[in-house]
A and B are shown apart, each in its own frame.
Chain A
Amino acid sequence: MSMNNYEIMIAWRFLVKGRLQTLFIILGISMGVAVQFFLFSLIGGLQNSIIERTVGSSPHLIISPEDRKPAPVDTGSVHMKDYRPAALEERPEIFSWQQYVLELKKDKRIISISPAANGNGFVLEGTTVHPVRVKGLLEPDGPDIYRIGQKLISGSDRFSGETALIAKELADKLALVTGDKFILRNDSGQDISLITGGIFDLGTATGSSLVVLSLDRVRAFFGIDGVSTIEVQVADIFDAESVARKYSRYFSRVKLESWQKTNKEMLAALSSQSSSSYTIQFFVLFSISLGIASVLAIAAVQKSRQLGILKAMGTTNLSSAKIFVVQGFILGATGSVAGLGIGYGISILFIKAMGDMIAFGLEIKTVYLILPVLLAVIASTVAAVIPASRASKLSPVEVIRNG
């Protein structure tokens, strides 16, 4: 038996011959899909940019020494214990950092690992002192994590024993340019002379008073025997939390904190933004479906004469319904594909029109392309069910009798 899909041919012809009506409904669907696509890619792009700006150029995961609870100081008395902080205390450090680094390097999700030594110091300018944060990193992973190479304003991102990379704000304050010398003082009052090797702008508040040196230089200068932290960057930033969880079980005496944990509020804001976007999407979809349903319902009335004739000639109730469902499907498919084009156009125009006012691009993912199309096609087909059932119930004799 040959495949008989005459319903498709009839549905197609009805649509083609219903020019203006068909055009309007396709336009309606495509506008809806365009809005969906635009919203998806805009919000996607915006969120990516927020995440990127927040954590893109910083470690996704920081391994730091375990928190220490102040140990009770025994005062000699049986009854009393003194919780005053100790006068001298071990600096929290990670001593066996090489082991951790070695272990982490085996994980394919991790792209950069750098041990870091941190300290607070001062840069002297005449009689004033500027407090600075000093960070010692291991090349090349360390500077990569902060994307110093990309954020370099002048000089080079290489640092050796005597050269330091400094933040732009700091350089501006101190009127330093590449090649200038400056004095760095540590918390014990020791001074060293350094050369400005490069100036970078991380674009974050915490990065604005940063002085970056080589790991060993900082360790020696601040008397750190191990390292302060181990900083990790993962290929897919959303893997950070699962990586942190995995190694929390393996590594003892250190704590692993992912960016997701430290940026909980931001993530909550992003997810509520997503859900408000989904709500909009839902209503857009709903109104498209109503539009299709009403247009097809009118079409079913308009075509009742044709349906009556077709039924007299032997079209079954199911086939009459199919004619309308197929129309819904065709409308949904063509409308949504056209909508993607329009949506893409709108997005490009939007980006162009906004120019420098927005600092992010649109995110175009396959799912943003497929999802609106899929939803529109399903909605259109479902919307056609009502007129289809109307068509299936139509009695041929009523139509034929009335001419």
Chain B
Amino acid sequence: MADNMIRVKGLNKIYGRVVKTHVLYDIDLEIETNSFTAMIGPSGSGKSTLLSCLGLLDPPTSGEIVIDGQSFSNINVNKLASFRNENIGFVFQFHHLLPEFTVFENILLPHWIKNGRPSPALREQADRLIDRVGLRDIKDKYVTEISGGQQQRVSIARALINMPKVIFADEPTGNLDRESGTRVLELLKEINMENNTTLVMVTHDREVALRSDHIIELVDGRICRTIDVRTSGRETALEMLENLSCVLPGHMIT
């Protein structure tokens, strides 16, 4: 098994054919297996785009992405889809559940896509997941009938159903009130610890970022610094984030 779950080399992302928007510049990145990495940065810094590239949702313009030892340059979309289905869980800011389905069905969807009708054993596993995210009472409700915090917990359970190696979360607490946000974050951390799942999270919330193992800060489509919270400690990390503006090498402070 590779030490690093994710390795990125020379990743560039350019949008548009006529008017080109260069979003990510020469990203080199390593993310440890079972770690919790937070990606922060001002809006427009490219953190969500980087997450989409890492999550194999958006192909990079150039560069190499290796996940769990497998390289993903020039792989056809169907292979990407099945890799995502089996190895990657997503938790989005707008939770993105299917309104046509109940809570339980939404959670089972990735399994349906992979294997079809779930076995009794799998339904039990889904029930355990539901208990774990605290949704037992609303299991058979349609997702339009439940609160935002509950919806986000549904999407976490959905991300876990196929027991993925990596979970990518894009501002999972961004749309929630403080209390719900804290619960969701706790849940994600627990899962990261207990399931040996690598967690990569985009956030603009420093408090949230400080609970991670590594912080990657992006500015203008480049990584300007990485902080190892485990070695530096939270206080130092906080100090760094608050007092030291991140400056890209070769750039002037403005």
Contact = CB atoms under 8 A, between A and B. Distances in A.
Interface residues of A, number: 30
Given A312-B57, A316-B81, A401-B52, A6 B112 contact: yes
B85 A313 contact: yes
A313 B117 CA distance: 16
A314 B112 contact: no
Contacts of A189: none
B98 interface: yes
B136 interface: no
Contact of A309 (B48, B52, B82, B96): B96
A193 to B, nearest CB: 90
Contacts of A313: 84-85, 90, 109-110, 113, 158
Interface string A307-323: 01111111111110000
A401 B113 contact: no
Contact of B92 (A5, A16, A400): A400
A206 interface: no
A316 B82 contact: yes
B38 to A, nearest CB: 19
Interface string A99-131: 000000000000000000000000000000000
A158 interface: no
B94 A403 contact: yes
A13 B99 CA distance: 10
Residue of A3, A314, A397 ringed by the most chain B CB atoms within 10 A: A314
Given A2-B115, A4-B115, A4-B116, A314 B94 contact: no
Contact of B84 (A9, A17, A314): A314
Contact of A314 (B96, B99, B114): B114
Given A4-B115, A6-B116, A400 B96 contact: yes
Interface in A284-340: 305-306, 308-319
A10 to B, nearest CB: 8
Nearest to B105: A13
B4 interface: no
Residue of B81, B85, B115 ringed by the most chain A CB atoms within 10 A: B81
B200 to A, nearest CB: 15
A396 interface: yes
Contacts of B58: 395, 397
B25 interface: no
A397 B77 CA distance: 13
A14 interface: yes
B101 interface: yes
Contacts of B94: 400, 403
Nearest to A309: B96
A17 B102 CA distance: 12
Nearest to B82: A314
Interface in B49-98: 52, 55, 57-58, 77-78, 81-86, 90, 92-94, 96-98
Interface string A1-37: 0111110010001101100000000000000000000
Given A17-B100, A403-B94, A314 B116 contact: no
Given A310-B113, A312-B90, 18 more contacts: A2-B115, A2-B117, A3-B116, A6-B112, A306-B98, A308-B96, A309-B97, A312-B55, A313-B84, A313-B90, A314-B110, A314-B113, A316-B82, A317-B78, A400-B94, A400-B96, A401-B48, A403-B94
4 smallest A-B Cβ distances: which pairs?
A314-B85, A4-B116, A6-B112, A17-B100
